[in-house]
Amino acid sequence: MGRNILLGSLLFFFFIISCKTDKKSEGATWRTKKWVAENQVHNQLLEIEKEQGWSLLFDGETLEGWHLYNKPDSTRFSAWEVRDGTLFCNATDENRVFGDLVTDKEYENYELVFEWQMGLRGNGGVFINVQESPDFRATYQTGPEYQLLEPAHSDTNTPMKRAGCLWGLSPQLNSVEAKPVGQWNTSKIIQQNGKIEFYLNGKLTAAEDFTSKEWADKIATSRFKDITGFGKATRGKIALQNWYFDSWFRNMKIREL
């Protein structure tokens, strides 16, 4: 009996020590993750990224390189501003000039990566191959859209309007959920020789060949069929949509291929 009591006491002692060690380890891991999150650097390029040809589309401090679609002189009065190191669309401020934000430069063959989040039930998009001209009143009339959507928005239940899809034209190739309000999503767009790929949080969500008959046929049976300039270009500007919902962007970088 005495030996059993001694053995039980030893086992209990080692169990307590093990629990304390595990908790200490968990605490250290949590503190490390917290430190990394608090000290993470955004809107900057690593030296290896510079060598690979990457450049920033947003420097974290200014709107340099961007302007309002067809309203270049109104950008400083627009809903777009820099806030806490993010490119923020202050869409609910009715005193601001409404409009999509467009790159000064056109792009053809490139890889674009960016992080984004939307306000609660928010809806927005990133347009590619946008043609800027008085002949068109909005970016969506020429540029196909990478859909941005906060999961609580009702469009999440519509296959061709889900986050990461080619809006109104094709559903997600692989099912993936966008992260909710307050959390950052990571997106990637690749375009080369008219062929595009969209990615959301690491998963391929769209792939099209803008030079193909299949693409032309898809447009012809879509809501864009009567918009003569839509989806024809394989070179153009990149635009961020102001669609009445607050949105945030950071770590926007591009490299031409």
pLDDT (tens digit per residue) in 42-76: 999 999 999 999 999 999 999 999 999 999 999 99
> pTM to 2 decimals?
0.85
Q: Are 251 and 135 in contact (CB under 8 A)?
A: no
- Residues contacting residue 94 through CB under 8 Å, at least 6 positions apart: none
> For 159-178, what is each residue's pLDDT tens digit?
999 999 999 999 999 999 99
Q: Are 54 and 46 in contact (CB under 8 A)?
A: no
Q: For residue 19, is pLDDT > 60?
A: no
Tokens encoding 257 = 């291929």
Q: Is 202 helix (H, G, I), strand (E, B) or coil?
A: coil
Other CB atoms within 10 Å distance of the CB of residue 218? 18
Greater confidence (25 vs 244) lies with 244
CA 27, 29, 32, 33: dihedral to nearest 10 degrees? -110
DSSP 132: P
Q: Are 200 and 164 in contact (CB under 8 A)?
A: yes
Q: For residue 15, is pLDDT > 90?
A: no
Instruction: Name the residue among 236, 222, 232 with its Cα closest to residue 105.
Output: 236
Phi, psi of 123 (to 5 degrees): -140, 130
Q: Are 99 and 243 in contact (CB under 8 A)?
A: no
Measured over the CA atoms of residue 29, residue 31, residue 34 and residue 38, the dihedral's sign is negative
Tokens encoding 239 = 């635009």
| Distance from C-alpha of 18 to C-alpha of 145, rounded to nearest angstrom | 54
DSSP 46: -
> For 67-119, what is each residue's pLDDT tens digit?
999 999 999 999 999 999 999 999 999 899 999 999 999 999 999 999 999 99
